[in-house]
Amino acid sequence: MINKILIKNVQLDMRPVDIYIEKERIRQIGEQLDVKADKVIDGTDKAVIPGFVNGHTHAAMTLFRGYADDMKLMPWLEEKIWPNEAKMRAEDVYWGSKLACLEMIKSGTTTFLDMYQRFRATADAVNEMGIRGYLSACCFDRFDPVLTEKCKEECERLYRVAEDYGSRVQYTVGPHAIYTVSGELLQWIHAFARERNVRIHLHLAETEEEVRGSVEKFGLTPVRYLYKLGVLSPRLVIAHGIYVDADEIRMLADHGVKVVHNPASNLKLASGIRFPFVEMKRAGIQVGLGTDGCSSSNNLDMVEAMKLAALVGKAWRKDPEVLTAQEVFEAATAVGADILGLDAGRVEVGRLADLCLVDLKQPAFVPNFNFISNLVYAANGSCIDTVLCHGKVLMENRKVPGEEEILEKTARLAYDLIKR
């Protein structure tokens, strides 16, 4: 068993260092460390970064990649996605999630916050692939009191199921959205999450249509509706959050709510481009970064997500100085980890050893005047050479054990699923 890893001569903040890892944590960082290790990794011509934290995914939707593209959000969901998801079996979710984990590992993600059905199938995939999954049990009650009670029972059951897994699998609650989940269930979930100290993962204020529907149905915009329900809290992580005004940003900040920006999905579904990253950050809100599922973003590449977030944020504001490369890099690493309460996201002694080695021999890093700028603006996920999570090597020299089987199996399953 490999419990001690030494990474030799790797670039950290543009200087060469050695990094010594014991079990799941970074124990030493320094020059020419004199320590014994079970495994030595040559970091020459590589830079070390924290593993990315993908703050919003639907992992098993890798099976829908390229299916039903170029559609509006609600027709896309109601006519294409939901009918096919209803046909999914545990085997589909398991293999689709394994494909997602493979893709994330190969592009440097070590932790993701997911929302999907069949919790155990996703958890099994995460457990086997070696990365971290904060897995949300997706709740829909569609304002039906009978389904509300079933959702409550399912939340309780899956919370206990999660105890069968190790620390890399964490349970979160996933009420889908305010247009599919009743206020009663949202209030119950709020209390449930407070009692068990778990995160709540919710789509919110994603489209103008959602905001209009909220005003028509509840008499309030989405954030104000949640405020009235009394469910804003530091445990709440909202995905998207495009359509919020200054008062709503203050409400979110006052209650410690976290927000995850999903630029690729927002662009492809034409949900909107004016995500208020700067205003949220100035108000004290922790803003992370996500890709959304592969059916709406088509890949899980957090390097590309960083670039999109920075460029779109600059473009709609007509200001090249906002949303710097460093800011979006922090959103994808340190802030993402903080949102989940994870002791990672930084290359520091004592932190969890969730690390990536970036290949500096790629054209995107020549010349290397500013490594972070090159990573954000010039590179993509293929620059990641080696990935460690929880002190274990998941990929080395861009090779993940078992990847051929995953690719072959999921391709067959995807076609079979659509034909059912």
Q: Do 33 and 175 belong together in one domain?
A: no
**Distances from the Cα of 160 to the Cαs of 35, 94, 154, 200, 246, in angstroms?**
41, 19, 10, 16, 39
pLDDT in the model for residue 149: 97
Contact (Cβ atoms closer than 8 angstroms) between residue 394 and residue 400: yes
pLDDT tens digit string along 89-145?
A: 999 999 999 999 999 999 999 999 999 999 999 999 999 999 999 999 899 999 999
Range of the domain at 97: 52-340
Residue 65 domain-assigned (yes or no): yes
Q: Do 197 and 133 belong together in one domain?
A: yes
Let me know if 382 is exposed, middle or buried by CB neighbors in 10 A (0-12, 13-18, 19+).
middle
Number of structural domains the chain divides into = 2
For residue 135, the domain's CATH number is 3.20.20.140
Q: Do 235 and 358 belong together in one domain?
A: no
Q: Do 264 and 226 belong together in one domain?
A: yes
Mean pLDDT of 358-380: 98
pLDDT in the model for residue 415: 93
pLDDT in the model for residue 311: 98
pLDDT in the model for residue 391: 98
Indicate the pTM of the whole model: 0.97
pLDDT tens digit string along 234-266?
A: 999 999 999 999 999 999 999 999 999 999 999
Q: Do 185 and 320 belong together in one domain?
A: yes
Nearest to 290 by CA among 255, 248, 348, 340: 340
pLDDT in the model for residue 77: 84
**Distances from the Cα of 212 to the Cαs of 26, 124, 200, 206, 272, in angstroms?**
49, 39, 24, 11, 14
Nearest to 18 by CA among 55, 56, 44, 52: 44
pLDDT in the model for residue 31: 96
Mean pLDDT of 381-393: 98
- Which residues lie below 8 Å from residue 397, measured CB to CB, with a gap of 6+? 385, 386
Q: Do 40 and 56 belong together in one domain?
A: no
Residue 371 domain-assigned (yes or no): yes
> Is residue 158's pLDDT more than 90?
yes
* Secondary structure of 345-358 in HEC code, one letter for each residue: CCCCCCCECCEEEE
Residue 420 domain-assigned (yes or no): no
Query: What 3-state DSSP class applies to 53?
Result: strand
To 5 degrees, how large is the angle CA 5–CA 398–CA 130? 60
Angstrom distance (rounded) from CA 336 to CA 255: 18
pLDDT tens digit string along 271-320?
A: 999 999 999 999 999 999 999 999 999 999 999 999 999 999 999 999 99
Phi, psi (deg, nearest 5) at residue 267: -70, -45
Mean pLDDT of 319-326: 96
For residue 360, the domain's CATH number is 2.30.40.10
> Is residue 71's pLDDT more than 90?
no
Sign of CA dihedral 325, 326, 328, 332: positive
